[in-house]
Amino acid sequence: MNRRDLPLALGAAAAGLALPAAAQAQAASPRLAAIQAAGRIRIGTTGDFNPMSFRDPATRAYRGHQIEAAEQLARDMNVRAEFVATDWRTLINGLVADQYDVVFTGTSMSMARAMAASFTIPWGRTAFFPLARRRDAARFTSWEQLNQRSVTIGTNLGTTMEQWVQQALPNATLRRVESPARDWQELLAGRVDVTMSTTIEAAYLTREYPDLVPILANEARNPIPMAFMAPLNDPVFLNVLNAWVTMRLASGFFAELNQRWNIVQA
């Protein structure tokens, strides 16, 4: 073999090694093998978190930051994305019951979730601060003023905001709202004094509903990573997802996606 043929030979050898490696990975991960065999990856999403995951009013199709991210993952895996409706209260139950392969809906990390599901490496960050109706905004000038039994704080059941309010504002009256209803709807209706929002959703809500205003936004609490969720006990599949996040962060995909959807990060 002459020197000119060496790159071709090395390429052929690498190609020959790639197929057994892929087969070994699929054998080590029944989920990955099932995704490849079916030609689709099942995406659990709530469809109630604009601009992360929401339904187009005209078509009822899913749209949003997380929907576009999921579609890109599917293209990169050479399969199609199949979206499966879920809600915040049953996100992890759906993973455990094998209703979907991964969650793309704007989840932030928490210890409670981490003990029941796997998180990918983070793609971004968020933090919490309250929203109030415009006429009530002057009532609350400190976090301590929220930590009173006379103050009712709305959160959605199963979210990290619910968990955080329980721990950080234990004296406040907590009103849990179950999907498909949303906590900010309770605020607009005057049934709660404030809702706990995020830097991401608050930017959308205050544009859409002028009566809602952020309070204590310059003192946002609980900066927290945002990541995708997958089932426990499948390190090979989690490795694939982590590699994808790493590569797409490096390529600028998430930076462009954040800009397109006006994602404000902590």
Asked if the structure places residue 8 within a domain, the reply is no
User: Are residues 135 and 94 located together in one domain of the fold?
Assistant: no
User: Are residues 162 and 134 located together in one domain of the fold?
Assistant: yes
Residues 128-180: tens digit of each pLDDT: 999 999 999 999 999 999 999 999 999 999 999 999 999 999 999 999 999 88
Asked if the structure places residue 21 within a domain, the reply is no
Asked if the structure places residue 158 within a domain, the reply is yes
* Range of weakest confidence among 22-26, 220-224, 255-259: 22-26
Q: State yes or no: pLDDT of 77 exceeds 70.
A: yes
Structural domain range at position 233: 27-123+227-260
User: Are residues 166 and 136 located together in one domain of the fold?
Assistant: yes
Q: State yes or no: pLDDT of 6 exceeds 80.
A: no
Residues 78-131: tens digit of each pLDDT: 999 999 999 999 999 999 999 999 999 999 999 999 999 999 999 999 999 999
User: Are residues 119 and 248 located together in one domain of the fold?
Assistant: yes
Asked if the structure places residue 7 within a domain, the reply is no
Number of independent structural domains in the chain: 2
Asked if the structure places residue 5 within a domain, the reply is no
Supply the pLDDT for residue 30.
Answer: 93
User: Are residues 94 and 158 located together in one domain of the fold?
Assistant: no
Supply the pLDDT for residue 179.
Answer: 84
User: Are residues 151 and 100 located together in one domain of the fold?
Assistant: no
CA nearest to 214, candidates 131, 151, 156: 131
**Mean pLDDT estimate for the chain:** 91
Asked if the structure places residue 10 within a domain, the reply is no
Per-residue confidence at 266, pLDDT binned at 50, 70, 90? confident
* CATH number reported for the structural domain that contains residue 164 in this entry: 3.40.190.10
User: Are residues 94 and 35 located together in one domain of the fold?
Assistant: yes
User: Are residues 188 and 250 located together in one domain of the fold?
Assistant: no
User: Are residues 245 and 119 located together in one domain of the fold?
Assistant: yes
Per-residue confidence at 14, pLDDT binned at 50, 70, 90? very low
User: Are residues 183 and 93 located together in one domain of the fold?
Assistant: no
Asked if the structure places residue 139 within a domain, the reply is yes
Q: State yes or no: pLDDT of 32 exceeds 80.
A: yes
User: Are residues 119 and 245 located together in one domain of the fold?
Assistant: yes
Asked if the structure places residue 72 within a domain, the reply is yes
User: Are residues 216 and 239 located together in one domain of the fold?
Assistant: no
**Higher per-residue confidence, 214 vs 265:** 214
